[in-house]
Chain A
Amino acid sequence: MGEHPKQSHYPSPQKAQDIVSRTLSIIVDNEPGVLARVIGLFSGRGYNIDSLTVTETEHEKHLSRITVITSGTPAVIKQIKAQLERLVPVHRVRDLTNEGGSIERELALVKVAGKGEKRIEALRLAEIFRAKVVDTSTEHFVFEITGKPSKIETFMQIMGELGLVEVSRTGIAAIGRGSTML
């Protein structure tokens, strides 16, 4: 006791544990404010969001599917799931990474500007990546590319040398493998 100005009346942080990445699928009622509830929970409790996609997937039932890629210690991941399930408009939460694995895909629109050799090289490489040209002029291409996030990362890296000026990514959509539904 005595002179220890750094002491406080809160416990010290826990020792570091391994960080893991998880893909969570959250089925929610598509009602006003539901996305704010979910992302507010992440920010309010200090959890990470590495990617987020959301849209209504079952119109007649007004159900939306939120896909969140998050990272944290296994204990934190467990807490995130429990906290999400506590939200009133949440129907169910599935950890796709942990439950049989998942297919994860993302779409990106990639704008590459330039002339001459680089432009031709960009088009050639885009074909290898099966990226589609969706807009063009004599000075630019907009490519549409879908795939695993790692494929998009690689594509962007390569295009970085060939005049990449802008990227828009959708974030990751994920679905569990196999015939069972979420």
Chain B
Amino acid sequence: MARTMTGAEIVLTALADQGVEVIFGYPGGAVLPIYDELFQQDKVRHILVRQEGGAVHAAEGYARSTGKVGVVLVTSGPGATNAVTGLTDALMDSIPVVCITGQVPTHLIGNDAFQECDTVGITRPCTKHNYLVKNVNDLARIMHEAFHIARTGRPGPVVVDIPKDIQFATGNYVGPSNIQHKTYRPKLKPEQPAIREAVELIAGAKRPVFYTGGGVINSGPKASQLLRELVRLSGYPITSTLMGLGAYPASDKQWLGMLGMHGTYEANMAMHDCDVMINIGARFDDRITGRLDAFSPNSKKIHVDIDPSSIDKVVQVDLPIIGDCAYVLEDMLRVWKAKSPVLDKAAHKTWWKQIDGWRGRKSLAYKNSKDLIMPQYALQRLYELTKDRDTYISTEVGQHQMWAAQFLNFEEPNRWLTSGGLGTMGYGLPAAIGAQVAHPNALVIDVAGDASILMNIQECSTATQYRLPVKVFILNNEYMGMVRQWQQLLHGNRLSESYTEALPDFVKLADAYGWKGIRCDHPADLDDAIKDMINSPTAVMFDCRVAKLANCFPMIPSGKAHNEMILGEDVTDEEVQNAIGKEGKVLV
């Protein structure tokens, strides 16, 4: 039953029919009809950000913490170009986002009109799909298709570019049912022979390791439950990528911690020495593999991925399985239970003994200080004081992000919001805002660095406007810490432009935005200060002054393999500085 309405009404009706409760956006000339429609309805709530880039990251934070599609509404030209970083971020991390952009009227497209840009051209490589709507009668179908494409298969961002005349024009509205896409059919269910082969391979392993990724999170909470069941049934060790943290509880004894460049020694060594690798929803990213020709040289590799193009893209695998993680895990569990395989307990005992030996190296150890707050210590205290709460953590990008991944333990999926693939500084604050909008009573903390936080600092004002009590926990060392660490390790400690000479006073800045500001520069005061932050009913900016030259260890150095990690135990600032130019540190 087609109903007739204007393009702007179609947009709002489609959003409501898609179950959208909240959108993040910023108005402008080319979206005014949609904003006018927004004003006259009450199903969809709008969060006004301060810059369009913030809107996309907020939508990502919303999506990542809820499993729903994040929705963005921005204007043409600069509105769309400002959204590009967030769209690319969502594409790299497979976050479902629908971004509606205004466009100049159809008859002006191509004329270099005011605030015109080639939005579909610019966003083509940074979206899963995009549309320019040229006929109002296509608009409803396109809106529903956009949501379908964004949320199914490997999720990702979809842009719908709507010229202003189309927003004014009158056309037919169709509902979300009965929309069948001509070509888009993601494969969700795996081939059964591959499942049986995988179970056989897994059951016969002597030195197995589960290596899981963001695909498990994207598949939904059920996938995490099934993963836990399979891992516990097998008794095998499990590690995860940055994007996959929380799918398996960090408190469990089978958990090895994160793997990769700044992952734990035991996780990386297990990857290197395993005989069967079970990759579920991870993509062999270069932060994970290190040197490719030395990556897990003696293992049979099973790769479960919903995206066929991920198979053999980086690492040649022995057994690819295309499908959604939840379906694959469900099938694996069924076959496993039916077969109840006899495992090589003796071999697994030896394997665990070896893993415990690696664990014994305590690769996350650092030298604490009585006078200085070590960044690792700050995060350990933050974890201890927040772990029993309903907590969501976002991060910016850099050292603080890696430390957060190492020291904040996640027990549940969707609690960890970080920019993994693109590595977008400025992601954390808007993402925290998005998560807080979705979970108004939760404790949402953006673990930040002093440099990253300034990249989207304007969004403090958004939090104030909507009384969102987000907490920004800044590990302030006055440096772009990861840049400085790389300059120290690889560029002769020539600290080219990685020191910020003129940082704002973060406490005064907090005050200016109507936030509470807290500064802490001594370990003895830290617990009370963190409690003060947690207990504050308002947004808080926490300026945690940490040791300036701490480095993030352990670390797989450039061009090295998993078994060539640098461990950072007992390394002090001075020792790190004195180590410059020496051949390696504790190369293992």
Tell me, in angstroms, the Cα distance from A44 to B121 when the chains sit together: 13
User: With an 8 A cutoff between CB atoms, is B318 at the interface?
Assistant: no
Given the known A-B contacts A33-B124, A78-B312, A79-B309, are A12 and B559 also in contact in the complex, defined by CB atoms under 8 Å? yes
A88 to chain B, nearest CB (A): 4
A172 to chain B, nearest CB (A): 25
Please tell me which stretch of A3-11, A48-56, A101-109, A134-142 contacts chain B, meaning at least 4 of its Cβ atoms lie within 8 angstroms of it: A3-11
A9–B309 touching, CB < 8 Å:
no
User: With an 8 A cutoff between CB atoms, is B584 at the interface?
Assistant: yes
Which residue, A11, A44, A79, A91, has most C-beta atoms of chain B within 10 A? A11
Contacts of A44 in B (CB 8 A): 125
Please tell me which stretch of B55-63, B249-257, B287-295 contacts chain A, meaning at least 4 of its Cβ atoms lie within 8 angstroms of it: B287-295
Closest to A80 in B: B309
B183–A91 touching, CB < 8 Å:
yes
Interface string of B281-321 (1 = CB under 8 A from A): 00000100111110000000000000111011100100000
B121–A36 touching, CB < 8 Å:
yes
B286–A11 touching, CB < 8 Å:
yes
Tell me, in angstroms, the Cα distance from A75 to B12 when the chains sit together: 45
Contacts of B134 in A (CB 8 A): 32
A76 to chain B, nearest CB (A): 10
Which residue, B125, B183, B289, B290, has most C-beta atoms of chain A within 10 A? B183
Tell me, in angstroms, the Cα distance from A90 to B184 when the chains sit together: 8
B583–A89 touching, CB < 8 Å:
no
Closest to A10 in B: B286
Interface string of B546-582 (1 = CB under 8 A from A): 0000000000011100000010000000000000111
Tell me, in angstroms, the Cα distance from A21 to B573 when the chains sit together: 54
Please tell me which stretch of B362-370, B383-391, B484-492, B517-525 contacts chain A, meaning at least 4 of its Cβ atoms lie within 8 angstroms of it: B484-492
B420 to chain A, nearest CB (A): 15
Tell me, in angstroms, the Cα distance from A1 to B580 when the chains sit together: 8
> Which residue of the partner chain, among A1, A14, A40, A86, contacts B489 with CB atoms under 8 Å?
A1
B129–A88 touching, CB < 8 Å:
yes
B309–A88 touching, CB < 8 Å:
no
Given the known A-B contacts A1-B583, A78-B312, A79-B312, are A86 and B307 also in contact in the complex, defined by CB atoms under 8 Å? yes
User: With an 8 A cutoff between CB atoms, is B44 at the interface?
Assistant: no
B263 to chain A, nearest CB (A): 15
Contacts of B125 in A (CB 8 A): 40-41, 44
Contacts of B184 in A (CB 8 A): 88
Tell me, in angstroms, the Cα distance from A33 to B583 when the chains sit together: 53
User: With an 8 A cutoff between CB atoms, is B206 at the interface?
Assistant: no
User: With an 8 A cutoff between CB atoms, is A170 at the interface?
Assistant: no
A85–B490 touching, CB < 8 Å:
no
Tell me, in angstroms, the Cα distance from A14 to B294 when the chains sit together: 12
B583 to chain A, nearest CB (A): 6
Given the known A-B contacts A2-B583, A3-B581, A11-B290, are A82 and B132 also in contact in the complex, defined by CB atoms under 8 Å? no
Closest to B145 in A: A88
Given the known A-B contacts A1-B489, A40-B124, A75-B312, are A7 and B558 also in contact in the complex, defined by CB atoms under 8 Å? yes
B124–A5 touching, CB < 8 Å:
no
B-contacting residues, A8-60, CB 8 Å? 8-12, 14-15, 29, 32-33, 36-37, 40-41, 44
A88–B286 touching, CB < 8 Å:
no
B491–A5 touching, CB < 8 Å:
yes
Contacts of B308 in A (CB 8 A): 82, 85-86
B285 to chain A, nearest CB (A): 10
Query: 4 smallest A-B Cβ distances: which pairs?
Result: A82-B309, A88-B129, A7-B558, A2-B581
Can you list 6 A-B pairs with a CB-CB distance of less than 8 A? A1-B583, A2-B492, A11-B291, A11-B559, A32-B132, A88-B183
6 new A-B contacts at CB < 8 Å, known A4-B490, A86-B309: A2-B489, A5-B491, A10-B558, A75-B312, A79-B313, A91-B183
B interface residues with partner A (beta carbon < 8 Å): 120-121, 124-125, 128-129, 132, 134, 149, 181-184, 261, 286, 289-293, 307-309, 311-313, 316, 486, 489-492, 557-559, 566, 580-585
